[in-house]
Amino acid sequence: MKITRKDFLRLSGFSLIAAGAMRALRAAGKGTATTNSTGNPVRWGMVVDLKKCREADGCNACIRACNAAHNIPQIADRAHEVKWIWTELFAKVFPFAPASYSPDSETCGRVALMCNHCANPPCTRVCPTQATWKREDGIVMMDWHRCIGCRYCIAACPYGSRSFNWQDPRPAIATINPDFPTRTKGVVEKCNFCEERLARGERPACVDACPQGVFIFGNLNDPNSEPRQALRARFALQREPELGTSPSVYYLV
């Protein structure tokens, strides 16, 4: 079969463009997140054992520890509250888990909620200044110096994990922990998996504070880590997995 030089060049040119376009499309779809399953050696994640939490019903030690460590303002007006970790009724967190005929003991308790540090986070995708982004170790970070307070990330988060500082938070902080900055009005904040403690080799504040050992924190990419072992032992739920966000927080019912 004879092929002219012109045709050969045209064919190879188009093939290269097509191959490049496929890669570009795939890369654009991927986002700022990496799936981290083959990439980085570390992907921080957490497994929350709801059964152990039910045993110490209403203890809230995790919330108090987080609030103290991070200077989270306690604002009286519910509309303007700022929370990084809080609890919610099981039925609200997993509205589509079949709960009608399950034992009340499992479905009437409260569930600890925080930022899920998704592997494919919608919030980092929409931030117009990259004030929030996904680190290589899986943590979805906030840069309070760059945030312009547009609240697009709040609209994008399917889990309601983010809070906005509607007012200056300092008056609502009883004791300021000098080791961690407060934030200013007009920026968005959320759980940061205590990245400042992880940098010092410590575990997140909620993990350390829990008297029941509810929070199992570790490297999801290490098959022998504590969370991975826990996930092998029991079936775990995630919040709204069908959205494709791939959360790093799992719940053992």
Partner 1 sequence: MRDRVWIVGGLAVFVVALTAPFWCARANTKAMFHGPNLVLPANAKECIAPAETMRAQHMRLLVTWRDDVVRRGDRRFVAPNGKVYERSLTRTCFGCHEKAGFCDRCHTYSGVSTPYCWGCHNEPKAMVARNRP
Partner 2 sequence: MPMMEKALTGSRRYWAWLLVLLCIIGAGVFCYLLQLDRGLAITGLSRDVSWGLYIAQFTFFVGVAASAVMVVLPYYLHNVKEFGRITILGEFLAIAAVIMCILFIFVDLGQPARIFNIILYPSPRSLMFWDMISLSGYLLLNAVIAFVTLRAEHEEVAAPRWIKAIAILSIPWAISIHTVTAFLYSGLAGRTFWLTAILAPRFLASAFAAGPALLILLCLALRRLAGFDAGDAAIGKLAVMMAYAMAINVFFILVEIFTVFYAGVPEHIEHFEFLYLGIGGNRSLVPWMWMSALFAVAALALLMVPNWRKAFLPWACILVFASLDLEKGLALIVAGFVPSPLGAVTPYAPTLPECAIVAGIWAVGALLVTVFYKMVVAVRREAES
**By the criterion CB under 8 A, which residues form the site for partner 1?**
133, 135, 141, 143-145, 168, 170, 176-179, 181-184, 195, 199
Q: Which is nearer to partner 1, 181 or 211 (CB)?
A: 181
Q: Round to whole Å and give the CA distance between 149 and 169.
A: 15
Q: Which of partner 2, partner 1, none interacts with 141 (beta carbon under 5 to 8 A by kind)?
A: partner 1
CB environment 222-239: b (16+ within 10 A), e (fewer): eeebebbebbeeeebbbb
What does the binding site for partner 2 look like in residue numbers (CB under 8 A)?
28, 31-32, 77-82, 88, 92-93, 95, 113, 122, 125-131, 146-152, 154-160, 163-168, 184-188, 240, 243-245
Q: Which of partner 1, partner 2, none interacts with 166 (beta carbon under 5 to 8 A by kind)?
A: partner 2
Residue 81 has phi, psi (to 5 degrees) of -65, 155
Q: Which is nearer to partner 2, 156 or 173 (CB)?
A: 156
Q: Which is nearer to partner 1, 135 or 151 (CB)?
A: 135
Please name the helix (run of DSSP H) or strand (run of DSSP E) that holds residue 133, with its range, or none.
strand 132-134
The answer to whether the beta carbons of residues 149 and 131 sit under 8 Å apart is no
The answer to whether the beta carbons of residues 72 and 82 sit under 8 Å apart is yes
Other residues' Cβ atoms within 10 Å of the Cβ of residue 244: 11
Q: How far is the CB of 194 from partner 2 (least distance, A)?
A: 22
Q: Which is nearer to partner 1, 94 or 133 (CB)?
A: 133
